[in-house]
Amino acid sequence: MYDPNNTPSYKTIPLCIDASLLKEIDLAGRADKRDRSEVVREALELWLQRRSLAEKVRIHREGYKRHPVSQDEFTPVPGAQTWPK
């Protein structure tokens, strides 16, 4: 995860982007008092987080497909969840 306090240097990269999207980025950045680089960095970080989460969900689903929940798997749970009097 990006942390500007722990990053020794930045890399400048060429980036092709649609003109209308760039205009929206600049407008939103101005409204939030953030420069273009900050907005793009945050968007890329969120994209990477979303990809990571999607991969975890996929792995979780595959696990349940291989080992589906059985009828009685959660039967003991309601009894364990009752509060003592």
Residue 8 clears pLDDT 70, i.e. is over it: no
HSE-up of residue 46 (Cα within 13 Å, Cβ side): 6
54 vs 79: which has the higher pLDDT: 54
**Which residue's structure tokens are 């990571």?**
52
Q: Give residue limits of the domains in the chain.
A: 1-71
Tens-digit pLDDT profile for residues 14-67: 999 999 999 999 999 999 999 999 999 999 999 999 999 999 999 999 999 999
Q: Has this prediction a pTM greater than 0.85?
A: no
Residue 7 clears pLDDT 70, i.e. is over it: no
**Per-residue pLDDT, 2:** 63
